[in-house]
Structure 1
Amino acid sequence: MSLVPPGFRVAATYRRAWLVKDLTAGVVLTTLLVPQGMAYAELAGLPPITGLYTSIMCLLGYALVGPSRILVLGPDSSLGPMIAATVLPLVAADGDPQRAVVLASLLAVMVAAIMLVAGVAKLGFIAELISKPTMIGYLNGLALTILIGQLPKLLGFSVDADGLIEEVADFGRGLADGAVVPAAAAVGLGGIALVLALQRWLPKVPAVLVMVVLAIAVSSIAGLGDHGVSLIGTLPQGFPPLSIPTVPWADVLPLAAGALAIAVVSLADTISTSTAFAERTGQEVRGNAEMIGIGTANLAAGLFQGFPVSTSASRTAVAERAGARTQLTGVTGAVLIVILIVALPGLFRNLPQPALAAVVITASLSLADIPGTVRLWKQRRVEFSLSLVAFAGVALLGVLPGIGIAVGLSILNVFRRAWRPYQTTLGLVDDMRGYHDVRSYPTARLLPGLVIFRFDAPLFFANAKTFRDEVVAISRAEPAPEWIVVAAEPITDVDTTAADVLFELDHLLDERGQSLVFAGLKDPVRRKIDGYGLTEKIEPRHLFPTVGSAVAEFRARRHAEWAPAPTAVPGDRSAMTPGPGG
């Protein structure tokens, strides 16, 4: 593996023809980075300026180390609520914003540490801990949480509530008490309508930028600040110094838990986004290298008063459509933001807060995947249920417990599939080679005295009893089979617990005058059962390279002939053993 950072390798092979496209894309990208950066900072419960600090440093960090030439990292709507849920409970009672910044910066450093260690240890597979159905449910719940949380700000008032239900109740009370500021509501609702309309009918127009510019113009002309509308105000001038965030030890454990959850979501989001864009550009997705890139971006942000970041599909799409070729696009955006906060800190002083709420709400709408949820309902009810539970976990318990539930459900679903795998018996189908599932082919012919049993999973401690019970049930059928042939190709592993169960099962069948036969064992599995001493117990003569050879041996010994094809399979036990989706 090369020790030269990807950014230097790109610079060494940079083509002059890319320069104008990268610079132009950087200018276009900045028009989205600035308003979204400030909006997502407020979503995380932090001052708007920290969103700009974060955007600058993460773009520079990823440009140096990130493996993708086109991905754009930055503050993200899916991370904002997670950051707020981690940081705000630790902030002092008076809501000290500087303490919140320090906590968020340390959170970014912790996310960086997790990412860098995991990347070096080649743990990129943790991005697969969240299945798509549970991720859909999580993001749907997150979209609803963001939407409800931003509605008061959109209408010009605030609520002090903890949890979605309390926020809905307090929002309703605010409406009933007449807390809505008409001018704020006009700006916020008008901003949402404008962004959605432009995205729908003029997708090439930078909708967020147009809305923000119009909101500033209306605010300046109409003096919205004098009509009860909160404004951003003048941003702090200059750039923060390099600083190591420090907090009391009592805050470290809660921050670490939040950092782990953020790291999982950030990586999953980055891998899915990079995969989508890599397919268009012909690049290869490297999960471990992405972890190092994200870790470096978070570290850079955390050392300069920033907060955790992730990949943004929308900003990456903007950069791609604008012609971006390399990470020079992101560097250009970072430089332009620096110029903005150093030379023009008052540019956004008249930007209404409801306009930022509109930015966040329109972003949250893109998180929700209602068509995907409907598809799960139609195609696989079990996974729809998992998605619904993940949604409820986020909506009712909060974003951090919600991501824990999402990860837990994904792992449990994998475990469930292995614990109760698909299992069936096989038969001979006329005019077809091989042996086939009697569920799919109910007229398959069977061989008297022999049952071919297929178990579609590795044999391990959790499902060994399931395997044993099914084989015992087959052995007790009438008429009792002489051979039970296990079509073992799908069995990719046998652990020690399963080996002990197979010992006992073989002994039980021997006492009944029946034989347990294995056909098609893979070489690595065969070597394992040899090591367990299982081969000697079962006897080598009951181990066959293929199902066909086992059937041929049985027919030669018993002079058995295939039974005529039935019109149905009466008493078929396989119908009583549903697969994972059953």
Structure 2
Amino acid sequence: MNFKRYLPFLQWAPQYGRNQASSDLVAAVIVTVMLIPQSLAYALLAGLPAHVGLYASILPLMIYAIFGTSRTLSVGPVAVVSLMTAAALAPLAEAGTPEYLAGAVLLAVISGLMLTLMGILRLGFLANFLSHPVISGFITASGIVIAASQLKHILGVQASGQNLLTITQSLIQSIGAANIPTLLIGAGALLFLMFSRKHLKPLLVWCGVETRLADIITKTAPILAVVVTTLAAWLLQLDVQGVQLVGVVPSGLPELTMPPLDWELWQQLAASALLISIVGFVESVSVGQTLAAKRRQRIDPDQELIGLGTANLGAGLSGGMPVTGGFSRSVVNFDAGAKTPAAGAYAAIGIALATLFLTPAIAYLPQATLAATIIVAVASLIDLPALKRTWRYSRADFGAMLATILLTLAHSVEAGITAGVLMSMGLYLYRTSRPHSAVVGLVPGTEHFRNVLRHDVELCPEVTFLRVDESLYFANARFLEETVMALAIRKPETKDLVLVCPAISHIDASALESLEAINDRLKDAGVRLHFSEVKGPVMDRLKDTQLLSHLGGKVFLSTFEAWQSLTNSCINSASG
């Protein structure tokens, strides 16, 4: 067994030295400072007690350092997965109840089992069923829903809802009961964080601060907002004035937790866990591959499934929630100079220390501050201009993207992502069921063949060259039959038909039968069927069939060879 394949830390640990350790420690400190408010905020977004977010940022980070392949990916609670967790658990239990927390733990465990099994079976390709427009639309819509769901904490009102419509309606009904001190804290924190994200770094650089240090200070701005508002809530006793605080947070490290063994509950959460697994994996791998490319490194998607799966198992067994690789944290980790996954393990130690010694102070943290942190974090996820770009390039992809956005906003995250996946697969089947094909001719003075409708080419009336630009399988086999026979009817002078195959990389059993039927029908019409430029693997499979032995014509290595062999009559008549 290749242990380095399943235990990637064995690849970097033997060469781990002082230089890597110092870089990883610096990055870990910065990420820890950023991760504490994010973990608390995303736990609340999922409808869970704040400390659950901290628990989900300890053991998963440790485990990913062992099983993950990305050197800089930071694993933990993220906004979209937290929203999906809340949506999955809302129909089953009341937020904040023991049953709700047990459901979150079970959701992490099921997701972990699914991801790990998919990794062992090397099923990373399944994530490809989520097209980029669908993912972009889903994340954009989720960002809008997340931001809207946090406005109740900014206003200090009671509101609920699982989509934009119900959230907006609930906010409008309760806006008259807004709490002024809460609004001042939430709006103040929101404005400060927005200013920090756009203008703090240029301001610091203008004041003479070194660029990298200014960047680090800017990324840790949420901690300043947390410290200031926590002190204000403690000194001014804002809880007495109706400001909602995080409240008592248990101190100490998380204890090992067994998920509920209720089989019916497992069945109820299985579909949601699968969606969370796939969305989390796609987001994580996208971030990991982007950062790895910048250092000419690579990640293994199948091993990433195992890394994320075991991380989620660790989250569930330590009383946490579903986790995945976070974009903002990973970028900060990368920019701060992290060299190995050990940076994540060091950050986990920092979070563990926070749970041991900082929880009394966290109790005075206003929920409005965490809401502002979430709103600013998800603002970068919203990409409405992508709609315009997609519309210009592909109307079909735009339709899938728009459907995903609208269903996510108006119904639920599960409906949005499910519709997007189904539409993506449906569009793929539709496009490939009607493959592009073209009659081609010889470009004068060359050995190249091009579409007769786009170029001035040489033709031979008795020989037709048909190029098919798609692999052949059950969905387009009948379409190919109709195309070839229609061409034979339209050009009755044809004696030879050459199927030009450079784009055909696969022929399934249904398509093979169609090719056999085409060969037989053309024979009956006095036309010989030929192939050219057949790929090696396709040819290997065709040799094991009856098609080649019954073929009316030949198989040519190149289309130009077929032209030279079959168009003598045209060439002779032209020269005569």
The two structures have a TM-score, normalised by structure 1, of: 0.91
Pairing of 1:80-479 with structure 2 (within 5 A):
80-91=82-93, 95=95, 97-175=97-175, 178-203=176-201, 204=215, 205=218, 206-441=220-455, 443-478=456-491
Pairing of 1:562-577 with structure 2 (within 5 A):
none
- 1:483 corresponds in structure 2 to 496
The separation in 1 between residues aligned to 2:179 and 2:341, in whole angstroms, is 43
**Residues 245-289 of structure 1: CA distance to partner in whole angstroms, max 9, x if unpaired?**
114222111211111111101111111111111012222110111
Contact 2:156/2:368 (<8 A) preserved: yes
**Residues 346-377 of structure 1: CA distance to partner in whole angstroms, max 9, x if unpaired?**
11122111111111111221212233333212
Amino acid at match of 1:44: A
**Residues 2-54 of structure 1: CA distance to partner in whole angstroms, max 9, x if unpaired?**
32533354332211122222222211111111100010001111100000000
Amino acid at match of 1:172: I
Amino acid at match of 1:327: P
Q: How far does residue 437 in structure 1 lie from its aligned partner after superposition?
A: 2.0
**Residues 86-118 of structure 1: CA distance to partner in whole angstroms, max 9, x if unpaired?**
1222115xx452221211111111111111111
**Residues 480-509 of structure 1: CA distance to partner in whole angstroms, max 9, x if unpaired?**
422221111212222222222222222222
Matched residue SS, 1:469: helix
List alignment gaps of at least 5 residues for structure 1.
564-582
Amino acid at match of 2:437: Q
The separation in 2 between residues aligned to 1:111 and 1:561, in whole angstroms, is 71
Q: How far does residue 562 in structure 1 lie from its aligned partner after superposition?
A: 7.1
Aligned length: 557
Matched residue SS, 1:453: strand
The separation in 2 between residues aligned to 1:389 and 1:215, in whole angstroms, is 40
- 1:30 corresponds in structure 2 to 32
- 1:78 corresponds in structure 2 to 80
Matched residue SS, 1:78: helix
**Residues 353-411 of structure 1: CA distance to partner in whole angstroms, max 9, x if unpaired?**
11111111112212122333332122222222221112123222311222222222332
The separation in 2 between residues aligned to 1:562 and 1:486, in whole angstroms, is 24
Contact 2:108/2:320 (<8 A) preserved: yes
The separation in 2 between residues aligned to 1:163 and 1:562, in whole angstroms, is 71
The separation in 1 between residues aligned to 2:574 and 2:264, in whole angstroms, is 73
The separation in 2 between residues aligned to 1:439 and 1:185, in whole angstroms, is 66
Residue 6, structure 1, aligned to residue 8, structure 2: yes
- 1:505 corresponds in structure 2 to 518
The separation in 2 between residues aligned to 1:399 and 1:33, in whole angstroms, is 25
Contact 1:47/1:97 (<8 A) preserved: no
Amino acid at match of 1:66: G
Over the matched positions of the two proteins, sequence identity in percent amounts to 30
Q: How far does residue 536 in structure 1 lie from its aligned partner after superposition?
A: 2.2
Contact 2:189/2:372 (<8 A) preserved: yes
Contact 1:394/1:401 (<8 A) preserved: yes
The two structures have a TM-score, normalised by structure 2, of: 0.92
Q: How far does residue 137 in structure 1 lie from its aligned partner after superposition?
A: 1.0
CA distance 1:28–1:558, change in 2 (3 Å): closer
CA distance 1:330–1:499, change in 2 (3 Å): closer
Q: How far does residue 334 in structure 1 lie from its aligned partner after superposition?
A: 1.5
Matched residue SS, 1:457: coil
The separation in 2 between residues aligned to 1:358 and 1:173, in whole angstroms, is 22
Contact 1:447/1:560 (<8 A) preserved: no
- 2:554 corresponds in structure 1 to 542
Contact 1:234/1:347 (<8 A) preserved: no
The separation in 2 between residues aligned to 1:562 and 1:384, in whole angstroms, is 50
CA distance 1:485–1:226, change in 2 (3 Å): same
Q: How far does residue 162 in structure 1 lie from its aligned partner after superposition?
A: 4.4
Matched residue SS, 2:3: coil
The separation in 1 between residues aligned to 2:411 and 2:545, in whole angstroms, is 47
The separation in 2 between residues aligned to 1:501 and 1:521, in whole angstroms, is 17
Q: How far does residue 431 in structure 1 lie from its aligned partner after superposition?
A: 4.5
Q: How far does residue 190 in structure 1 lie from its aligned partner after superposition?
A: 2.2
CA distance 1:330–1:440, change in 2 (3 Å): same
**Residues 440-487 of structure 1: CA distance to partner in whole angstroms, max 9, x if unpaired?**
32x333222222111111111110111111111211215542222111
Matched residue SS, 1:241: coil
